[in-house]
Structure 1
Amino acid sequence: MRRLVQEAFLRQNLTLKAVLELNTLDAFQGVVRQGELIALLPRSALMQARLDPTLAVRAIADSHQERISSPPLTREVVLVTTRDRLQIPPIAHFRQLVKALYPQFQPQLSAVS
Protein backbone atom coordinates (compact mmCIF):
# COMPACT_ATOMS: atom_id res chain seq x y z
CA MET A 1 0.00 0.00 0.00
CA ARG A 2 2.83 2.41 0.77
CA ARG A 3 4.15 2.19 -2.79
CA LEU A 4 0.69 2.97 -4.18
CA VAL A 5 0.32 5.99 -1.90
CA GLN A 6 3.80 7.28 -2.73
CA GLU A 7 3.09 6.97 -6.47
CA ALA A 8 -0.21 8.84 -6.06
CA PHE A 9 1.58 11.65 -4.21
CA LEU A 10 4.28 11.82 -6.90
CA ARG A 11 1.65 12.11 -9.66
CA GLN A 12 0.37 15.21 -7.86
CA ASN A 13 3.90 16.60 -7.36
CA LEU A 14 3.52 16.17 -3.60
CA THR A 15 6.01 14.78 -1.11
CA LEU A 16 4.94 12.06 1.28
CA LYS A 17 6.76 12.11 4.60
CA ALA A 18 6.19 8.57 5.86
CA VAL A 19 7.68 8.11 9.29
CA LEU A 20 6.31 4.71 10.20
CA GLU A 21 5.04 1.61 8.44
CA LEU A 22 2.98 -0.81 10.51
CA ASN A 23 1.31 -4.11 9.72
CA THR A 24 -1.56 -4.41 12.20
CA LEU A 25 -4.63 -2.30 12.79
CA ASP A 26 -4.00 -2.36 16.54
CA ALA A 27 -0.55 -0.84 15.98
CA PHE A 28 -2.01 1.89 13.75
CA GLN A 29 -4.68 2.71 16.31
CA GLY A 30 -2.15 2.86 19.14
CA VAL A 31 0.17 5.23 17.27
CA VAL A 32 -2.70 7.49 16.20
CA ARG A 33 -4.07 7.61 19.77
CA GLN A 34 -0.71 8.94 20.96
CA GLY A 35 -1.58 12.10 19.05
CA GLU A 36 1.47 12.79 16.91
CA LEU A 37 0.64 10.96 13.66
CA ILE A 38 -2.17 10.18 11.26
CA ALA A 39 -2.64 6.96 9.32
CA LEU A 40 -3.69 6.12 5.78
CA LEU A 41 -5.58 2.84 5.88
CA PRO A 42 -7.33 0.69 3.29
CA ARG A 43 -11.13 0.73 3.31
CA SER A 44 -11.12 -2.83 4.69
CA ALA A 45 -9.64 -1.54 7.96
CA LEU A 46 -12.29 1.12 8.48
CA MET A 47 -14.98 -1.11 9.96
CA GLN A 48 -13.00 -1.76 13.13
CA ALA A 49 -11.51 1.73 13.26
CA ARG A 50 -14.96 3.34 13.05
CA LEU A 51 -16.02 1.39 16.14
CA ASP A 52 -13.30 3.07 18.21
CA PRO A 53 -14.78 6.28 19.70
CA THR A 54 -11.30 7.75 20.26
CA LEU A 55 -10.54 7.82 16.52
CA ALA A 56 -11.85 10.16 13.83
CA VAL A 57 -12.11 8.46 10.45
CA ARG A 58 -12.34 10.73 7.41
CA ALA A 59 -12.33 9.97 3.70
CA ILE A 60 -9.64 11.57 1.57
CA ALA A 61 -11.38 10.87 -1.74
CA ASP A 62 -13.93 13.27 -3.14
CA SER A 63 -16.15 13.37 -6.21
CA HIS A 64 -13.04 14.02 -8.30
CA GLN A 65 -11.42 10.71 -7.32
CA GLU A 66 -10.45 9.85 -10.90
CA ARG A 67 -8.59 13.13 -11.28
CA ILE A 68 -6.84 12.83 -7.93
CA SER A 69 -5.89 9.18 -8.06
CA SER A 70 -5.54 7.83 -11.54
CA PRO A 71 -5.07 4.93 -11.57
CA PRO A 72 -7.11 4.37 -8.41
CA LEU A 73 -5.41 3.11 -5.27
CA THR A 74 -6.06 -0.63 -5.19
CA ARG A 75 -4.46 -3.70 -3.73
CA GLU A 76 -4.40 -7.23 -5.06
CA VAL A 77 -5.42 -9.96 -2.64
CA VAL A 78 -4.55 -13.58 -3.37
CA LEU A 79 -5.40 -16.95 -1.89
CA VAL A 80 -2.33 -18.82 -0.70
CA THR A 81 -1.96 -22.36 0.57
CA THR A 82 0.30 -25.32 -0.06
CA ARG A 83 -0.46 -27.56 -3.05
CA ASP A 84 -1.16 -30.55 -0.82
CA ARG A 85 -3.92 -28.60 0.95
CA LEU A 86 -5.85 -27.51 -2.15
CA GLN A 87 -8.06 -30.60 -1.94
CA ILE A 88 -8.91 -30.27 1.77
CA PRO A 89 -12.71 -29.77 1.74
CA PRO A 90 -12.92 -26.42 3.62
CA ILE A 91 -10.10 -24.92 1.53
CA ALA A 92 -11.53 -26.24 -1.74
CA HIS A 93 -14.98 -24.95 -0.75
CA PHE A 94 -13.67 -21.50 0.16
CA ARG A 95 -11.83 -21.28 -3.17
CA GLN A 96 -15.00 -22.28 -5.04
CA LEU A 97 -17.00 -19.63 -3.14
CA VAL A 98 -14.51 -16.94 -4.12
CA LYS A 99 -14.60 -18.10 -7.74
CA ALA A 100 -18.42 -18.04 -7.72
CA LEU A 101 -18.73 -14.64 -6.02
CA TYR A 102 -15.99 -12.98 -8.06
CA PRO A 103 -16.02 -14.48 -11.57
CA GLN A 104 -13.67 -11.75 -12.78
CA PHE A 105 -10.92 -13.51 -10.80
CA GLN A 106 -11.58 -16.90 -12.40
CA PRO A 107 -8.45 -16.89 -14.64
CA GLN A 108 -6.13 -15.98 -11.75
CA LEU A 109 -7.61 -18.59 -9.40
CA SER A 110 -7.42 -21.31 -12.03
CA ALA A 111 -3.84 -20.47 -13.00
CA VAL A 112 -2.44 -21.91 -9.80
CA SER A 113 -4.56 -25.07 -9.70
Structure 2
Amino acid sequence: MAATGARILSSRSVDLLRRNCLTPAQLTEFEERWHGLVGYGYGYGVRTYLGGAGGSLSPLGQFGWQGAAGSYVIVDPESRSSLFFAMHMLHNQENFVFPRLCNAFFASLE
Protein backbone atom coordinates (compact mmCIF):
# COMPACT_ATOMS: atom_id res chain seq x y z
CA MET A 1 0.00 0.00 0.00
CA ALA A 2 1.10 3.51 -0.70
CA ALA A 3 1.05 6.08 2.10
CA THR A 4 -2.28 7.22 0.69
CA GLY A 5 -3.73 3.73 1.10
CA ALA A 6 -3.75 2.99 -2.63
CA ARG A 7 -2.77 -0.58 -3.47
CA ILE A 8 0.48 -0.83 -5.45
CA LEU A 9 0.67 -4.63 -5.82
CA SER A 10 -2.20 -7.08 -5.84
CA SER A 11 -2.45 -9.44 -2.86
CA ARG A 12 -1.76 -12.30 -5.29
CA SER A 13 1.52 -10.64 -6.34
CA VAL A 14 2.55 -10.18 -2.71
CA ASP A 15 1.77 -13.84 -1.99
CA LEU A 16 3.93 -14.87 -4.96
CA LEU A 17 6.80 -12.70 -3.73
CA ARG A 18 6.85 -14.34 -0.32
CA ARG A 19 6.23 -17.95 -1.36
CA ASN A 20 9.34 -20.06 -0.86
CA CYS A 21 10.58 -21.40 -4.20
CA LEU A 22 13.50 -23.47 -2.93
CA THR A 23 13.45 -27.25 -2.83
CA PRO A 24 14.52 -28.90 0.45
CA ALA A 25 18.02 -29.51 -0.98
CA GLN A 26 18.31 -25.91 -2.18
CA LEU A 27 17.04 -24.65 1.18
CA THR A 28 19.77 -26.59 3.00
CA GLU A 29 22.43 -25.13 0.71
CA PHE A 30 20.93 -21.63 1.07
CA GLU A 31 21.14 -21.80 4.88
CA GLU A 32 24.68 -23.24 4.78
CA ARG A 33 25.87 -20.47 2.47
CA TRP A 34 24.00 -17.58 4.10
CA HIS A 35 24.34 -18.17 7.85
CA GLY A 36 22.37 -15.04 8.71
CA LEU A 37 19.35 -16.36 6.83
CA VAL A 38 18.65 -19.54 8.79
CA GLY A 39 14.88 -19.84 8.97
CA TYR A 40 14.38 -18.10 5.63
CA GLY A 41 13.61 -19.38 2.17
CA TYR A 42 13.73 -17.50 -1.08
CA GLY A 43 10.67 -16.32 -2.96
CA TYR A 44 10.43 -14.33 -6.16
CA GLY A 45 13.50 -12.14 -5.67
CA VAL A 46 13.24 -11.77 -1.89
CA ARG A 47 13.96 -13.73 1.27
CA THR A 48 10.87 -15.01 3.04
CA TYR A 49 10.60 -16.10 6.66
CA LEU A 50 9.60 -19.74 7.13
CA GLY A 51 10.17 -19.99 10.88
CA GLY A 52 12.62 -21.94 12.95
CA ALA A 53 15.23 -19.25 13.56
CA GLY A 54 15.86 -19.38 17.29
CA GLY A 55 15.10 -16.13 19.08
CA SER A 56 13.42 -14.47 16.11
CA LEU A 57 10.33 -12.32 16.63
CA SER A 58 9.60 -12.40 12.89
CA PRO A 59 6.12 -13.51 11.89
CA LEU A 60 5.80 -16.22 9.26
CA GLY A 61 5.57 -14.75 5.79
CA GLN A 62 7.47 -11.53 6.39
CA PHE A 63 9.78 -10.94 3.48
CA GLY A 64 12.41 -8.55 2.28
CA TRP A 65 15.87 -7.97 0.94
CA GLN A 66 19.33 -7.41 2.30
CA GLY A 67 21.95 -5.98 0.02
CA ALA A 68 25.70 -6.52 -0.03
CA ALA A 69 26.62 -3.11 1.40
CA GLY A 70 24.09 -2.95 4.20
CA SER A 71 20.61 -2.26 2.89
CA TYR A 72 17.86 -4.14 4.70
CA VAL A 73 14.16 -4.22 3.92
CA ILE A 74 11.37 -5.88 5.89
CA VAL A 75 7.77 -6.14 4.67
CA ASP A 76 5.07 -7.71 6.82
CA PRO A 77 1.72 -7.80 5.04
CA GLU A 78 -0.12 -9.07 8.12
CA SER A 79 0.73 -6.04 10.26
CA ARG A 80 0.81 -3.76 7.20
CA SER A 81 4.24 -2.52 8.20
CA SER A 82 7.61 -2.18 6.57
CA LEU A 83 11.11 -1.02 7.39
CA PHE A 84 13.94 0.23 5.20
CA PHE A 85 17.42 0.50 6.72
CA ALA A 86 20.58 1.45 4.87
CA MET A 87 24.24 1.82 5.63
CA HIS A 88 27.01 1.79 3.08
CA MET A 89 29.64 -0.57 4.41
CA LEU A 90 30.98 -3.82 3.02
CA HIS A 91 31.63 -6.52 5.64
CA ASN A 92 28.99 -4.82 7.76
CA GLN A 93 28.45 -7.52 10.41
CA GLU A 94 25.01 -8.27 8.94
CA ASN A 95 24.76 -11.61 10.78
CA PHE A 96 24.95 -9.62 14.02
CA VAL A 97 23.10 -6.41 13.10
CA PHE A 98 20.14 -7.53 10.99
CA PRO A 99 18.59 -10.15 13.32
CA ARG A 100 18.68 -7.60 16.14
CA LEU A 101 17.25 -4.87 13.93
CA CYS A 102 14.48 -7.23 12.83
CA ASN A 103 13.63 -8.16 16.43
CA ALA A 104 13.64 -4.51 17.52
CA PHE A 105 11.29 -3.68 14.66
CA PHE A 106 8.78 -6.43 15.45
CA ALA A 107 9.00 -5.81 19.21
CA SER A 108 8.05 -2.18 18.58
CA LEU A 109 4.83 -3.25 16.85
CA GLU A 110 3.39 -4.94 19.94
TM-score using structure 2 length: 0.23
Give the strand-richer structure, 1 or 2: 2
More relative contact order, 1 or 2 (CA 8 Å, 6+ apart): 1
Calculate the TM-score normalised by the size of structure 1: 0.23
